[in-house]
Amino acid sequence: MTTQTLAQLIQQARDEAKTILSALEQGHPQTEESSAVYLGLVTLQKRLAATGPSGAGALASEIEQLAVLCARKLERLKPLLEQAARLARGGAAPR
């Protein structure tokens, strides 16, 4: 597992979440979920930067919890988060 790859996946998911959040801020009922996912990804990025490779495994369950929130408009984030969780648990890096 490379911390850099995990950080890139989380950044990609964060960017995508921000795009979705910006689109939903126009009064869409899923704005709250989108905001929660985005803020969760920001927190994960900070924790990963602070702990480095040794703390990545501890983030896997939190990444999975964020993936569970990804329904409807947020569905396109789910594969990124599932991939990040696998990587944090020590799985193979994405190709």
In the chain (95 residues long), the average pLDDT of successive 10-residue segments reads: 85 91 74 87 93 87 92 91 93 60
Q: Is residue 93 part of a domain?
A: no
> 31 lies in which domain range?
3-88
Cβ neighbours of residue 83 under 8 Å, at least 6 residues apart?
A: 9, 94
Cβ neighbours of residue 55 under 8 Å, at least 6 residues apart?
A: 47, 48
Number of compact structural domains in the chain: 1
pLDDT confidence of residue 57: 87
Q: Is residue 66 part of a domain?
A: yes
Q: Is residue 72 part of a domain?
A: yes
Q: Is residue 60 part of a domain?
A: yes
pLDDT confidence of residue 93: 59
pLDDT confidence of residue 52: 82
Q: Is residue 42 part of a domain?
A: yes
Q: Is residue 95 part of a domain?
A: no
